[in-house]
């Protein structure tokens, strides 16, 4: 099987910026592109294979054709034809709404969907850019609702100044928002379920404020207070650095300037590379070569035993994620 690239699904939003299209080297003239869905099995937004023998095939049909060979035996048993991860680039020109996502149990009960645990890797950040993640002080569900009504909910959500390379893990139930000036890679469960808590009284193109999901969010929120919601790690050249390991995905950072080989012979899962900087040539154990560069994501089938990674002379930086 080939290594699969997909056509990006560009999402124009009221808060979107202008960085995604040049970052990905596209000629598209769309404005205010807030998101590029890189690899998606979300119904209605299924990724399409960009090239090779399977060009034009949707991701769910690809899973249906290759099954465990593509996603791994255990993943196929767990998820069937549903691809379990959604990969995005997000460019925030304005603050996004403050929101929360339900866990698997709640999402299944309410929406017949997976929940939404996710993570952020900050690709770039403008001076003064901020992210919100988690509660800064203990409140009750009743206090939460009162603060939403009085527009004071931001007073009890932890806010961080961010820079390139910062990482945040966001388990379902954690209140969060992306601030203006943030450009991030997001890895999440395959779900589009979001409960909007507060939207800064912003109005859409129709002049109306967007719907809030106050009651739904009240039951979804994890009100636990932590000392620090950031994920701390130490960069090591030419070694995978694990950032997040949870039941939904495992993600590591690669920052390499010399040839390495990633051994997947004992891994029962597909692997995704999300390239944030530079480029590299990937060669699988069958000798098939694919070049991946900044702004691209690639799906490596579960049948791959190993991948030889040869970076450009200036090096390459990418996220590796699997289930």
SS3 state of residue 235: coil
Return the pLDDT at 210.
Answer: 87
Q: Which pLDDT value is given to residue 205?
A: 72
| Tens of each residue's pLDDT in the chain, 323 residues | 899 999 999 999 999 999 999 999 999 999 999 999 999 999 999 999 999 999 999 999 999 999 999 999 999 999 999 999 999 999 999 999 999 999 999 999 999 999 999 999 999 999 999 999 999 999 999 999 999 999 999 999 999 999 999 999 999 999 999 999 999 999 999 999 999 999 988 877 777 888 999 999 999 999 999 999 999 999 899 999 999 999 999 999 999 999 999 999 999 999 999 999 999 999 999 999 999 999 999 999 999 999 999 999 999 999 999 99
Are the C-beta atoms of 214 and 163 separated by less than 8 Å?
Answer: no
pLDDT of residue 202: 82
Binning the chain into helix, strand and coil, the percentages to the nearest 5 are 15, 40, 40
Q: State the pLDDT at residue 203.
A: 77
Sheet with strand 182-189: strands edge to edge? 9-17, 33-39, 85-91, 182-189, 118-125, 167-170, 230-231
Task: State the pLDDT at residue 115.
Answer: 97
Question: In this predicted structure, what is the pLDDT of residue 128?
Answer: 97
Domains of the chain as residue ranges with CATH? 9-231 (2.60.120.10), 241-322 (2.60.120.10)
């Amino acid at each position: 099987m080939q290594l699969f690239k997909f056509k990006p699904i560009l999402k124009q939003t009221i808060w979107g910026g202008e960085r995604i299209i040049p970052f990905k080297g596209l000629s598209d003239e769309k404005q205010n592109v807030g998101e590029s869905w890189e690899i998606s099995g979300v119904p209605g937004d299924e990724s399409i294979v960009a090239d090779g023998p399977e060009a034009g095939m949707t991701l769910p049909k690809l899973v249906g054709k290759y099954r465990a060979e593509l996603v791994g035996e255990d993943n196929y048993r767990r998820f069937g034809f549903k691809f379990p991860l959604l990969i995005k680039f997000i460019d925030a020109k304005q603050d996004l709404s403050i929101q929360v996502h339900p866990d698997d149990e709640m999402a299944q009960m309410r929406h017949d969907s997976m929940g939404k645990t996710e993570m952020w890797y900050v690709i770039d950040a403008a001076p003064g850019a901020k992210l919100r993640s988690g509660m800064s002080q203990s409140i009750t569900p009743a206090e939460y609702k009162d603060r939403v009504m009085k527009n004071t909910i931001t007073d009890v959500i932890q806010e961080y100044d961010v820079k390139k390379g910062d990482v945040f893990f966001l388990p379902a139930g954690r209140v969060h928002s992306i601030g203006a000036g943030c450009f991030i890679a997001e890895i999440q469960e395959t779900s589009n379920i979001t409960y909007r808590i507060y939207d800064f009284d912003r109005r859409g193109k129709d002049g109306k404020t967007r719907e809030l999901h106050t009651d739904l969010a009240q039951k979804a929120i994890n009100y636990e207070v932590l000392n620090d919601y950031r994920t701390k790690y130490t960069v090591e050249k030419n070694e995978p650095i694990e950032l997040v390991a949870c039941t939904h995905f495992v993600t590591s950072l690669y920052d390499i300037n010399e040839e390495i080989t990633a051994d997947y012979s004992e891994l029962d899962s597909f692997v995704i590379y999300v390239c944030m900087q530079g480029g590299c040539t990937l060669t699988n154990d069958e000798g098939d070569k694919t070049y991946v560069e900044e702004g691209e994501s690639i799906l490596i089938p579960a049948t791959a035993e190993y991948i030889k990674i040869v970076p450009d002379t200036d090096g390459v930086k990418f996220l590796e994620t699997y289930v």
